[in-house]
Amino acid sequence: MKTDLENSADVFSFFEENYSLPAIADNLDTLSPKELRCACCLMGVALVALSQKKTIWERLKNMGLGSKE
């Protein structure tokens, strides 16, 4: 599943289709240690992927549309 997430074009769509974020958050106390490790790993991969994407403002600036001149 980690590899699928890494190869996914859209992190949010991946979670919507494959891994229910509300279900994880609502059931943290009942997840097994293995399930918790899996969830933490997936969240880490997602955060890294999102942190490496350029924001809309960075993309506009690179296109020359973000300057105030």
pLDDT tens digits, 10-51: 888 888 898 888 888 898 899 999 999 988 999 899 988 888
pLDDT tens digits, 44-66: 999 888 888 777 777 778 777 65
Percent of the chain with pLDDT over 90: 14
pTM to 2 decimals?
Answer: 0.66
Amino acid at 7: N
Amino acid at 1: M
Contact between 66 and 60 under an 8 Å Cβ cutoff? The reply is: yes
